Amino acid sequence: MQVLKFGGSSVANAENINNVVSIVQQSFTKNKNIIIVLSALGGTTDALLEAAIIASHGDISYKEKLQPIEQRHLTTVKKLIPLDQQSSVLSTVKKRCNEIEDICNGVFLLKELSLRTKDSIISYGELLSSQIFAAKLKSLNIANAWKDARELIITDSEFGSANVDFTKTNQNIQSLFCTLDSSICIIPGFIASDKNGNTTTLGRGGSDYTAAIVAAALSVSVVEIWTDVSGMMTADPRLVSNSKIIHHISYQEAMELSHFGAKVIYPPTLQPVMNKHIPVAIKNTFAPNDAGTLIHSHISKNGSSIRGISSINKLALLSLEGSGMVGIPGFSKRLFEALSNEKINVILITQSSSEHSLCVGIEEANADKAKEVIDKTFATEIEIKKVEPLIVEKGLAIVALVGDNMKNHPGISGKMFGAIGRNGVNVRAIAQGSSERNISAVIATRDVKKAINVLHEEFFETTYKQVNLFISGTGNVGSKLLAQLQQQQRHLQDHLRIQLRVTGIANSKKMLFNDRGIDLCKWKELLQNADEMKMQQLISIIQKQNLRNSVFIDVTANDDVAGSYAHYLQKSISVVACNKIACSSSYEYYKKLKDIAREFNSLFLFETNVGAGLPVIGTLNDLLRSGDRVNRIEAVLSGTLNFVFNNYTGEKSFAKVVKQAQEEGYTEPDPRLDLSGIDVMRKIMILARETGEKLEMEDISNNSFMPESCMKGDVENFYNEMEKHEGHFKEIYKEAEAKNCKLKFVASYHNSPLGDGGVASVGLQHIQLQHDFYRLYGKDNAVLFYTNRYTEQPLVVKGAGAGAEVTASGVFADIIRAAAPSN
Ligand code: ADP
Ligand code: ASP
Ligand code: MG
pLDDT tens digits, 137-150: 999 999 999 999 99
Query: DSSP labels for 205-244?
Result: TTHHHHHHHHHHHHT-SEEEEEESSSS-BSS-TTT-TT--
With CA atoms as reference, report the closest residue to 551 among 472, 484, 612.
472
User: Residue 258 — very low, low, confident or very high, per pLDDT cuts 50/70/90?
Assistant: very high
CA of 121 to the centre of ligand 2 (A): 13
Full-prediction pTM beyond 0.85? no
With CA atoms as reference, report the closest residue to 219 among 275, 138, 160, 144.
275
Annotated catalytic residue, options 136, 450, 683, 779: 683
CA of 15 to the centre of ligand 1 (A): 20
Half-sphere exposure of 672 (CA within 13 A, CB side): 16
Is pLDDT of 357 > 60?
yes
Average pLDDT over residues 268-273: 96
Is pLDDT of 303 > 70?
no
Rg (CA), the chain: 36
Which of 190, 200, 209, 228 gets mutated to test ligand 2 (max ligand atoms within 8 A of its CB)? 190
Half-sphere exposure of 566 (CA within 13 A, CB side): 11
Q: What is the distance between the alpha carbons of residues 156 and 164, in angstroms, rounded to a whole number?
A: 7
pLDDT tens profile 730-776: 999 999 999 999 999 999 999 988 777 899 999 999 999 989 899 88
Residues with a CB atom less than 6 Å from ligand 2 = 7-8, 39-40, 45, 125, 189-190, 204-208
The H or E element that residue 766 is part of is strand 759-767
Neighbours of 585 (CB within 10 A): 17
> Counting ligands in written order, which one lies closest to the CA of residue 40?
2
> Are residues 456 and 235 in contact, defined by beta-carbon separation less than 8 angstroms?
yes
> Counting ligands in written order, which one lies closest to the CA of residue 239?
1
> Are residues 200 and 191 in contact, defined by beta-carbon separation less than 8 angstroms?
yes
Determine the pLDDT at residue 465.
79
Q: What is the distance between the alpha carbons of residues 644 and 659, in angstroms, rounded to a whole number?
A: 9
In whole numbers, what is the pLDDT of the chain averaged over residues? 92
Could you tell me which residues come within 8 angstroms of residue 684 by beta carbon, excluding any fewer than 6 positions away?
633, 635, 637, 700, 747, 748, 749, 760, 762
With CA atoms as reference, report the closest residue to 459 among 499, 401, 405, 408.
401
Q: What is the distance between the alpha carbons of residues 651 and 384, in angstroms, rounded to a whole number?
A: 92
Determine the pLDDT at residue 173.
96
Write the CA distances from 386 to 286, 321, 326, 338, 383, integer angstroms: 60, 9, 10, 18, 8
Query: DSSP labels for 629-671?
Result: -EEEEEEE--HHHHHHHHH-SSSS-HHHHHHHHHHTT-S-SST
With CA atoms as reference, report the closest residue to 630 among 753, 799, 747, 745.
753
CA angle 129, 134, 136 (to 5 degrees): 95
pLDDT tens profile 109-140: 999 999 999 999 999 999 999 999 999 999 99
Determine the pLDDT at residue 138.
96
Is pLDDT of 463 > 90?
no
Which of 36, 45, 128, 201 gets mutated to test ligand 2 (max ligand atoms within 8 A of its CB)? 45
Give, using CA atoms, the residue closest to atom 6 of ligand 2. 205
Query: DSSP labels for 534-571?
Result: -HHHHHHHHHHH--SSEEEEE-S--HHHHTTHHHHHTT
Average pLDDT over residues 508-530: 94
> How many residues make up the chain in this entry?
823
The proportion of the chain whose per-residue pLDDT surpasses 70, expressed as a percent, equals 98
Q: What is the distance between the alpha carbons of residues 128 and 117, in angstroms, rounded to a whole number?
A: 18
Average pLDDT over residues 332-346: 90
Q: What is the distance between the alpha carbons of residues 114 and 53, in angstroms, rounded to a whole number?
A: 10
CA of 205 to the centre of ligand 1 (A): 10
Residues with a CB atom less than 6 Å from ligand 1 = 7-10, 39, 205, 227-229, 232-233, 235-238, 262-264, 308, 310
Is pLDDT of 478 > 60?
yes
pLDDT tens profile 219-241: 999 999 999 999 999 999 999 98
Average pLDDT over residues 328-335: 82
The proportion of the chain whose per-residue pLDDT surpasses 90, expressed as a percent, equals 76
User: Residue 823 — very low, low, confident or very high, per pLDDT cuts 50/70/90?
Assistant: very low
Determine the pLDDT at residue 161.
94
CA of 45 to the centre of ligand 3 (A): 12
Half-sphere exposure of 559 (CA within 13 A, CB side): 2
Is pLDDT of 353 > 80?
no
Which range, 158-172, 329-343, 795-809, is most confident? 158-172
User: Residue 332 — very low, low, confident or very high, per pLDDT cuts 50/70/90?
Assistant: confident
- Determine the atom of ligand 2 nearest the C-alpha atom of 209: 8
Neighbours of 399 (CB within 10 A): 26
**Across the chain, how many H-helices and E-strands are there?**
29, 30
Give, using CA atoms, the residue closest to atom 5 of ligand 2. 205
User: Residue 546 — very low, low, confident or very high, per pLDDT cuts 50/70/90?
Assistant: confident
CA of 641 to the centre of ligand 2 (A): 74
Could you tell me which residues come within 8 angstroms of residue 336 by beta carbon, excluding any fewer than 6 positions away?
346
Q: Phi first, then psi: give them for residue 578, nearest 5 degrees.
A: -95, -30
pLDDT tens profile 562-579: 999 999 999 989 999 999
pLDDT tens profile 669-706: 789 999 999 999 999 999 999 999 999 999 999 999 99
Determine the pLDDT at residue 433.
67
Give, using CA atoms, the residue closest to atom 8 of ligand 2. 205
Q: Catalytic: 465?
A: no
pLDDT tens profile 439-461: 999 999 999 999 999 999 888 87
Which of 38, 234, 236, 455 gets mutated to test ligand 1 (max ligand atoms within 8 A of its CB)? 236
CA of 193 to the centre of ligand 1 (A): 27
CA of 18 to the centre of ligand 3 (A): 20
Determine the pLDDT at residue 354.
62
Give, using CA atoms, the residue closest to atom 21 of ligand 1. 236
> Counting ligands in written order, which one lies closest to the CA of residue 206?
2
Average pLDDT over residues 330-337: 87
Write the CA distances from 800 to 637, 706, 734, 765, 779, integer angstroms: 10, 24, 26, 20, 6
With CA atoms as reference, report the closest residue to 743 among 764, 725, 760.
764
